[in-house]
Structure 1
Amino acid sequence: MVTLQAKNLTLEDVQNLLGLQEEVDGSFTNLLDLKPLTEFEQQELTQIRDDFRHYIASGKVSEGQVKFLVIAPLMRLAGFYKAPLEITLEEDIAAIEIVDEDTKINGRLDILAVKKTLSKTEAAFWILVVEAKNSEISALAGLPQLLAYAYKSLEYQPNIWGLTTNGVTYQFVHIRQGNPPTYQLLPDLSLINSERLVQLLQVLKSIRDLVAA
């Protein structure tokens, strides 16, 4: 059996190995209920943006800094730290086996949000996956790895939300069960652009409400 590392896969590899097909022209408003932000939330967003801008101005921002400076406070502000959700870090993903191809995909994920359940096996299901990449790398560079991670969950749930980011740009993806399974890229959002920054938190909050329901 051939074993592949998820981080080394290309988008073409993922499409061919897992049978995923892309749907085009994704829209947040067709999938999510985006609600206005409070004044407090907008102030917190501005602070997160300003803190990160300081680090960007000083040079390259590492993956670890992206997680600490941006992802963690955004997830907290969006409510992902509240019950019934919990966050797990740097977990090994269950191996994905492609029987027809005699291939196995292994990997590790950076941040994982899951529902709390009484079942230990169900607690490993991921709902939102964040692939934090170095700020000089395109957010889309994390898409093949993200799709490989999220694919396993299609055995247990009809759809999955994912996010890949380099700290500045945020690329959401919606993955659905089907024959074949499909994924849809949503319009990219930004920490720097004020309008798209507001929408970023709106999207995160709406996804949080969906997965916590």
Structure 2
Amino acid sequence: MVQIIQGKDITLAQLIDEFGLQRADNAQFFSEWQHDLPELSDLEKQSLNEVKAEYLHLSRYQILEPVVKMVVLSPLLRLAGFYQPPFYIALEQQVEICSEDEGTIVRGSIDILVFKPPFWVLVVEAKRADYSLVPAIPQALAYMLADVSSEKPVFGFISNGNEFRFLKLIKAETSQYALSDLFALDSRDDIYTVVKVLKRLAGLIRNTSATLSTSS
């Protein structure tokens, strides 16, 4: 009998058992969030300071997922360049993945999908402000596994407005993933680092696209 699991209910244990996903032991597997990060201009820093101030003001009351997307995630993705070529944005993208024996199906919708045809670049999951990011990790990984491409890495970005974490997944015979450190908006300069990482990922994809265009 086929077991159908909603993406929001998937666990890491199920991804390991049903889909063979493994956490990478090599620290270099996900070095993109640590090295060669671009600098931010004073204007970009000013914009991020405004995002931080607006969020802290609004957080006096309960902040739901749509507010997290509008107030925090949208300006971060814009500053990182994900609203410009070669990227496109899709909201609430429906996805489905099946285990190798087709005994388990995971279904759900990605909050924000950044893609560069034909492959996915960034899976963004937003949670309400009072939610932990821990349950969002297997949910994002499940959606990242649904990417139709192989070999190219897929990145994830999860946030509840105040906390941020990046993920990287490479699909293979044994798919592997890794996580960045946890960043917090109310820490001094963490929001700057978050945008630097996003810019770094956007730059990597642009350079890859340019190289492929030149060689073809």
CA 1:24–1:51 in structure 2 vs 1: closer, same or farther (change >3 Å)? farther
Q: In the alignment, which residue of structure 1 is the partner of 2:40?
A: 37
Distance 2:191 2:12 in 1: 27
Does residue 174 (structure 1) correspond to residue 168 (structure 2)? The answer is yes
Q: In the alignment, which residue of structure 1 is the partner of 2:53?
A: 50
8 Å CA contact 2:91–2:110 kept in 1: the answer is yes
- Residue number among 86, 89, 99 corresponding to 1:87 in the alignment: 89
Q: Determine helix, strand or coil for the equivalent of 2:181.
A: coil
Superposed counterparts of 1:50-89, under 5 Å: 50-56=53-59, 58-89=60-91
In structure 2, give the amino acid aligned to 1:142: A
In structure 2, give the amino acid aligned to 1:98: S
Q: In the alignment, which residue of structure 2 is the partner of 1:13?
A: 14
In structure 1, give the amino acid aligned to 2:52: R
Distance 2:190 2:14 in 1: 31
8 Å CA contact 2:89–2:114 kept in 1: the answer is yes
Q: Determine helix, strand or coil for the equivalent of 1:112.
A: strand
Q: In the alignment, which residue of structure 1 is the partner of 2:154?
A: 160
CA 1:181–1:156 in structure 2 vs 1: closer, same or farther (change >3 Å)? closer
CA 1:207–1:28 in structure 2 vs 1: closer, same or farther (change >3 Å)? farther
Q: In the alignment, which residue of structure 1 is the partner of 2:125?
A: 131
Distance 2:178 2:55 in 1: 28
8 Å CA contact 1:88–1:111 kept in 2: the answer is yes
CA 1:180–1:99 in structure 2 vs 1: closer, same or farther (change >3 Å)? closer
CA 1:29–1:80 in structure 2 vs 1: closer, same or farther (change >3 Å)? same
Distance 2:121 2:56 in 1: 29
Deviates more, 1:165-174 or 1:186-195: 186-195
Q: How many residues align?
A: 204
Unaligned runs of 5+ in 1: none
Distance 1:147 1:174 in 2: 9
CA 1:209–1:28 in structure 2 vs 1: closer, same or farther (change >3 Å)? farther
1:45-88, Cα deviation, whole Å (9 max, x unpaired):
100000000011x2221011000100001111111000111111
Distance 2:26 2:132 in 1: 20
- Residue number among 199, 204, 213 corresponding to 1:210 in the alignment: 204
Give structure 1 regions of 4+ aligned residues with deviation exceeding 6 angstroms.
none
Q: Determine helix, strand or coil for the equivalent of 1:164.
A: strand
Superposed CA RMSD = 1.9
Q: In the alignment, which residue of structure 1 is the partner of 2:212?
A: none
Superposed counterparts of 1:141-160, under 5 Å: 141-153=135-147, 155-160=149-154
Q: CA deviation at 1:29?
A: 8.5
8 Å CA contact 2:150–2:171 kept in 1: the answer is no
- TM-score with structure 1 setting the length: 0.89
Q: CA deviation at 1:130?
A: 1.0
Distance 1:49 1:29 in 2: 27
- Residue number among 183, 196, 199 corresponding to 2:193 in the alignment: 199
Distance 1:67 1:4 in 2: 25
Distance 1:54 1:145 in 2: 29
Distance 2:22 2:10 in 1: 16
